[in-house]
Structure 1
Amino acid sequence: MKFSQRLVAELKPIWEANHHHPFVQELSEGTLDVEKFKFYMIQDYIYLVDYAKLFALGAIKATDLSVEGKFAELLSETLNTEMSLHRSYAKEFGIKEDELENAHPTPVTLSYTNYMLSVGKSGGLDKVLVALLPCMWSYNQIGHLLVDTPASNHPLYANWVEMYSDNDYTDLTNWTINLLDEITTGKSDEELKELTEIFKNTTMYEYLFWDMAYNHRDWPEIK
């Protein structure tokens, strides 16, 4: 069994919980409160700034020139294209650019991004991959699940579904999964156990991120 298959099999309850979170379910039905999605959009923008740094770490830690080039391409694409698209999409919700740029991370966003970057800096390319893959992989799966739902025709949410279900994003996800399987071949059970724990943690953070957006969980107001 490939390592990626083993991960999903071992962590099935956590993995599927992301797909069935109320945020995702209501998004699929087209009934999600727009204010919840706006909260998510702002935090997702903050998240992407640090997520892009994982691609930089991937380029640094790659030992193959083509892999290094791919991560450099992903870094550029995220910073120069995806972030621009995110800003344009946010305008459809009435979110101004300065609101995105000046927003503060919630405790969940801050903890999640710090964890990913800490893990990515601490080891080799394998750790970078298991830190970034739960977000990419689960979004691609959710995107495909939502293709034939009311969300795909929603005036505001259809673009989100299209973004994460399109062929280019699917190809990127599959490339990342295959790279993880390739570089983990022959690793010891102890090494795979450590990588599984990281993947589990970032998958749990994905759940917390949905939960944060759904319940508007921010820093407490202390007076």
Structure 2
Amino acid sequence: MTFTQHLVTKYQDAWSQTLLHPFVKEIGEGTLDRNKFRFYMIQDYLYLIDYAKLFALGTVKANDLQTMTEFAAHLHSILHEEMSLHRSYAAQFGISKEELEQAEPSPITLAYSHYMLHVAQNGGLADLTAALLPCMWSYWEIGLLLKEIPGAQDHVDYGEWVLMYSSDEFGALAQWCIGLMNRLAEGKPAAELARLEIIFLNTTRYETLFWEMAYQGQMWNLN
């Protein structure tokens, strides 16, 4: 069993909660409230800004030219392709570029992105990769799951989202991250592997919290 197989087996409950959240299921069914998806698109765009920084840090922390090149290429892809797709898709929901970039992050968006950056800045490449993995891997699995729902890829609002994350291109990115995690985990002592497990579990839980935040439209709500 590879390290990543071990992770999703050991933390199956947390992993399943992310894949089967009502927000995700309603995207596939085409029943998700458009305002909930609009809120999600704004928060996800803000999240991607910090997520891209992890790939820049991966380029710095990589110990070989090939891995440096891969992180740099994926950083370019996020900044020039995925975020561009987000802006284009957001426009369909009446969200301007200015609204995206001036929006306030939710508490969960802040906590999740700041946790990943903290791990990446203070740990090694394996820690950084463990933090990255749940987002990339779960989105690919979600895309593949929703792709099997009749009509999901053709839905006027959410079909493009399903197509994006079930695509071969996104799948290749997820598989790259899975493979990198397995390589970096090889030969590590039990204590280091345990730390990587906790990082993976934490960001998996944050994925579920992010869906819930979007589903409920949660901001600070201090009043």
TM range (shorter): over 0.9
Q: How far, CA to CA, are the matches of 1:27 and 1:86 in structure 2?
A: 16
1:34 matched residue in structure 2: 34
Q: How far, CA to CA, are the matches of 1:138 and 1:83 in structure 2?
A: 19
Secondary structure of the residue aligned to 2:147 is coil
Q: Per-residue deviation at 1:219?
A: 1.2
Matches of residues 146-185 of structure 1 in structure 2 within 5 Å? 146-149=146-149, 150-185=151-186
Matches of residues 98-137 of structure 1 in structure 2 within 5 Å? 98-137=98-137
- Cα deviation, 1:152-171, whole Å, max 9, x if unaligned, reads 22101011001101001111
1:144 matched residue in structure 2: 144
Secondary structure of the residue aligned to 1:73 is helix
Q: How far, CA to CA, are the matches of 1:148 and 1:5 in structure 2?
A: 23
Gapped regions of structure 1 (runs ≥ 5) = none
Q: How far, CA to CA, are the matches of 2:172 and 2:186 in structure 1?
A: 21
Q: How far, CA to CA, are the matches of 2:85 and 2:171 in structure 1?
A: 18
Q: How far, CA to CA, are the matches of 2:50 and 2:139 in structure 1?
A: 17
Q: How far, CA to CA, are the matches of 1:184 and 1:215 in structure 2?
A: 37
Secondary structure of the residue aligned to 2:118 is helix
2:207 matched residue in structure 1: 206
The alignment's C-alpha RMSD in Å is 0.9
Q: How far, CA to CA, are the matches of 1:120 and 1:129 in structure 2?
A: 8
For these two proteins, the number of residue pairs brought into alignment is 222
Residue identity matched to 1:89: Y
Secondary structure of the residue aligned to 1:194 is helix
- Cα deviation, 1:119-178, whole Å, max 9, x if unaligned, reads 011111101101111000000000000112232221010110011010011111111111
TM-score by length of 2: 0.98
Residue identity matched to 1:19: L
Does 1:74 find its partner at 2:69? Answer: no
Q: Per-residue deviation at 1:198?
A: 0.5
Q: How far, CA to CA, are the matches of 2:18 and 2:41 in structure 1?
A: 17
Q: How far, CA to CA, are the matches of 1:215 and 1:139 in structure 2?
A: 20
Residue identity matched to 2:43: Q
4+ residue runs over 2 A deviation: none
Residue identity matched to 1:61: K
Gapped regions of structure 2 (runs ≥ 5) = none
